[in-house]
Structure 1
Amino acid sequence: MEKHTNPEVVIVGAGIGGSALATVLARAGIAVTLLEKSLVHIDHVRGEWLAPWGVAETERLGLYETLLAAGGHHLGRHIAYSDEVDPATAESQPLDLTAFEGAGFKPPLCMRHPVMCDLLNAEAIKSGAELIRGVTEVQVTPGLAPEVRFRHDGVERKFNPRIIIGADGRNSVVRSQAGIDQHRDPTHHLMAGMLVDGTTGWPADLQIFGTEARVNFLAFPQSSERVRLYICYGIDDKRRFAGADNQARFLDAFRLASVPGSEHLANGTPSGPCNSYGNEDTWTDVPYVPGVVLIGDAAGHNDPIIGQGLSISYRDVRIVRDLMLENRNWTPDLFRPYAEERRERMRRLRLTASTFSILSVEFGDHARARRLKVREARMSNNSPDLTPATFVGPEILPAEMFDETILDRLRAM
């Protein structure tokens, strides 16, 4: 076994959360080593839309200008199309995303996930962190003297850092080896996504969200030529985008009668895989044990229908960084405020995403009538609307708005 100088912090997972935390800790003079199983970051079809509250977190971390200089693309307008509303009516009620600047938030920012990972990997290394790629057989031992063993280039290696950070995603090895329980909601629907090039004609500042027939659709431009497209669909239709021709069928689904100009999306060229995944929320009540702390998806992820994944990760990074720099005695109690804030944040986002799922990914005449009722009620301020939580953050809205009975009331409509 090779022995090396122990870093103070070992971060398992060099995706966005892991490499962002490595960067900001290394900038503060902390010795950090990143362990990453992959040799190349690939398109996993998730995590490319950063909400205004998430953009604010990158500013607090000192990463925003780096993202912007590398091609981060701000959006300016949001239109909620749907087959129960005339397109002209939908277009007469756009949401001006630049208006959030009046409240101190920049508009949403989009960037391809592998590009953001590569950028933050480079930033971590430039800041003084060590990145080891191609690691296998990671074994984490929590405790007051934590240990991490792994293989790299056929050689077993071991570190005894002061703390281990699990940033290794939804199927976190660190979480399972640390014995941290994960809770999971039932899967309500499936979500497919694909990156599409050649979308000339589609406005580069316009994101859309809506429901038509048996799909819920979303589109987020990354430039004047590239858009990330998503479709949510029922679990009873699970093979909708299976098979060799799934990319063509996915694009055909964007020939939408309710969306003027949708042919510019449907006529685009696939620039990545078409993958589907479940929408279920997961969460951990306490994302730490002695010697180990989880961040990002490893600590639990939100239903992607509301696109909060990146923002969640960047806030995790900011809170954990602040706690670690404020007190260099990294005992479990230090991370209690992180656990408490995250638990309530994820509960509120879980409730918000559930309202979106009920309204937008249930189909048929009854569901269509319910969407129309809710739209009309919200126009007259007679129905609670949790949508702002997806833009400015769940903590901005009054706590009483996040009442679990809202789901029963929606289902009863």
Structure 2
Amino acid sequence: MVQTREADVIVVGAGPGGSAAAYHLARHGLSVLLLEKSEFPREKVCGDGLTPRAVKQLIDMGVDTSEKAGWVRNRGLRVIGGGIRLELDWPDLASYPNYGLVRTRFDFDQMLATAATGAGATLLTSHNVSGPVLDAAGRVVGVTAQVGPGKERQEFRAPLVLACDGVSARFALALGMAKREDRPIGVAVRRYYRSAARQSDDYLESWLELRSPAPAQRGGGRSLREDELLPGYGWIFGMGDGRVNVGLGVLNSSSAFGKTNYRTMLTDWLSTTPDDWTMNDESYAEGPIQGAALPMGFNRVPHYTRGVMLIGDAGGMVNPFNGEGIAYAMESGTLAAEIAVHALARPAGPERERVLRHYPIELKARYGGYYRLGGWFVKLIGNPQVMKIATRHGMPHPMLMKFVLKLLANLTDPRGGDAMDRIINGLTRMAPAV
């Protein structure tokens, strides 16, 4: 006999978006089941760097972001490209803190899930959600899950389901919601290395140009040719524990997308880094190179349908400008929770549906124009030569790069900001929403 358990809301996936949603739902007194297929702590492929947008979400959840609590703070972004190194501090804004953070995903997700349970949500791990439960009208009224090592089938019922199951978006796929091929997507690979020289840093580091040794150098000889320019961008984030997170991303606007061995590309790039960084030495590597897709620019819609809200990566909410996903997962989870609270306070039927249908409208208002700009940006930088020209002519101008940082990180004050904020906010309002 299949067991059935009921709640006000079922949240599928205890990543940052799911835990943020569960936290805010529970704080408002709703009964929440947070279903996670894995056990904590667990590894996730991630750059481990958090911008001030994500930091704000942590603060809103009551998370202690002090260094004493194990976080590594940073002042901003160091950009390397065109032969120039430029350090850009995070902007001083009323809307966001002026610092970023680094922390491994190995315990980050568990910390957020613990905050959600502290607010009253019920976390059930080793619960692999396998599909929706539908009523006679085709509306989702619950989920089925395979539970524990025996994969016993169990049913969970709720008037609302939040799909926060990441880039795989298995729940959305089970409802026939395929991703849109006309939206940007990226691939990122990363690896940890032990590096005494780079283990801590006041800045997140972004490489706008990646190079690999010229062919003659790979054979041991010395080449007069310039190192080869690789597609994509790279990062180096000091973890503060003797390790660095090193990775790269490639966008589908690049001709190399889907045709390149990204793991080889990573090691080729790292072979050009200084010896004392120990990133060109396999003996200093910790674990394999791992990769994941970055679904961008609302590449899966609608974000609400038939009793299901899509959150974060499941709804393709990664920022096309910088590949950031955690902040948008948490923001969309928080927004979904706010709307769900008001919807469930109304009787089932047209009144409740009117509120729930506001979720995709609000997402579009917040991010639609910005993501449209990001889509155009992705098409431009997919060409390494365009990136080369942009870095060579843009990097020597710190004021321009400060503007670029605000644009790429989506860090502006919506009202009362400076001239840069007003320009960026105006551009996002004028761009047709995706």
Query: Normalised by the shorter chain, which TM-score bucket?
Result: 0.7 to 0.9
Match of 2:427 among 397, 400, 406: 400
Distance 2:57 2:20 in 1: 11
Distance 2:355 2:322 in 1: 31
Distance 2:365 2:280 in 1: 39
Bigger mean CA offset, 293-302 vs 129-138: 129-138
Asked whether 1:36 is paired with 2:49, we answer no
Deviations 1:44-96 (A, max 9, x none): 32262222122223323x233268664232211322211x23x4xx34xx212
Counterpart for residue 148 of structure 1: 143
Measured after TM superposition, the shift of residue 309 of structure 1 is 0.3
Counterpart for residue 50 of structure 1: 50
Distance 1:296 1:188 in 2: 14
Deviations 1:97-138 (A, max 9, x none): 3x4356642312222123111212233333332222223462
Distance 2:401 2:47 in 1: 33
Deviations 1:305-351 (A, max 9, x none): 61320010111122122223345237232133331232244434534
Asked whether 1:191 is paired with 2:188, we answer yes
Measured after TM superposition, the shift of residue 356 of structure 1 is 5.3
Verify the 8 A CA contact 1:287 1:339 in the aligned structure 2. yes
Measured after TM superposition, the shift of residue 140 of structure 1 is 0.7
Given residue 337 of structure 1, which amino acid in structure 2 is its aligned partner?
A: H
* CA 1:189–1:175: 2 relative to 1, 3 Å: closer
- Aligned CA RMSD, in angstroms, stands at 3.6
Asked whether 1:388 is paired with 2:407, we answer yes
Distance 1:214 1:148 in 2: 44
Asked whether 1:342 is paired with 2:363, we answer yes
Distance 1:304 1:270 in 2: 29
Distance 2:37 2:200 in 1: 38
Deviations 1:206-237 (A, max 9, x none): 22222142152212223262322122355537
> What SS does structure 1 have at the residue aligned with 2:44?
coil
Bigger mean CA offset, 217-226 vs 66-75: 66-75
Counterpart for residue 117 of structure 2: 125
* CA 1:128–1:196: 2 relative to 1, 3 Å: same
Asked whether 1:369 is paired with 2:389, we answer yes
- Number of aligned residue pairs: 388
Distance 2:401 2:17 in 1: 39
Verify the 8 A CA contact 1:100 1:107 in the aligned structure 2. no
> What SS does structure 1 have at the residue aligned with 2:118?
helix
Verify the 8 A CA contact 1:24 1:321 in the aligned structure 2. yes
Counterpart for residue 332 of structure 1: 353
Verify the 8 A CA contact 1:164 1:292 in the aligned structure 2. yes
Given residue 256 of structure 2, which amino acid in structure 1 is its aligned partner?
A: D
Distance 2:95 2:152 in 1: 53
Match of 1:95 among 73, 88, 95: 88
* CA 1:404–1:384: 2 relative to 1, 3 Å: farther
Verify the 8 A CA contact 1:254 1:263 in the aligned structure 2. no
Which aligned pairs between 1:192-207 and structure 2 lie closer than 5 A? 192-201=189-198, 203-207=200-204
Verify the 8 A CA contact 2:184 2:320 in the aligned structure 1. no
Distance 2:246 2:401 in 1: 32
Distance 2:357 2:405 in 1: 27
Measured after TM superposition, the shift of residue 39 of structure 1 is 3.2
Deviations 1:225-274 (A, max 9, x none): 232212235553744345xxx5xx735523557xx898355458333431
Measured after TM superposition, the shift of residue 167 of structure 1 is 0.8
Counterpart for residue 170 of structure 1: 167
Distance 1:394 1:352 in 2: 18
> What SS does structure 1 have at the residue aligned with 2:246?
strand
Counterpart for residue 157 of structure 1: 154
Deviations 1:14-41 (A, max 9, x none): 2221122222322333211122222355
Bigger mean CA offset, 45-54 vs 156-165: 45-54
Bigger mean CA offset, 319-328 vs 387-396: 387-396
Distance 2:321 2:376 in 1: 10
> What SS does structure 1 have at the residue aligned with 2:144?
strand
Distance 2:401 2:109 in 1: 43
> What SS does structure 1 have at the residue aligned with 2:46?
coil
Given residue 96 of structure 1, which amino acid in structure 2 is its aligned partner?
A: D
Given residue 142 of structure 2, which amino acid in structure 1 is its aligned partner?
A: E
Counterpart for residue 270 of structure 1: 285
How many percent of aligned residue pairs carry the same amino acid?
Answer: 19
Asked whether 1:232 is paired with 2:249, we answer yes
* CA 1:262–1:240: 2 relative to 1, 3 Å: farther
TM-score (norm 1): 0.79
Mind listing any 5+ residue stretches in structure 2 that lack a counterpart?
A: 211-228, 415-420
Deviations 1:351-375 (A, max 9, x none): 45446545655324x6523432344
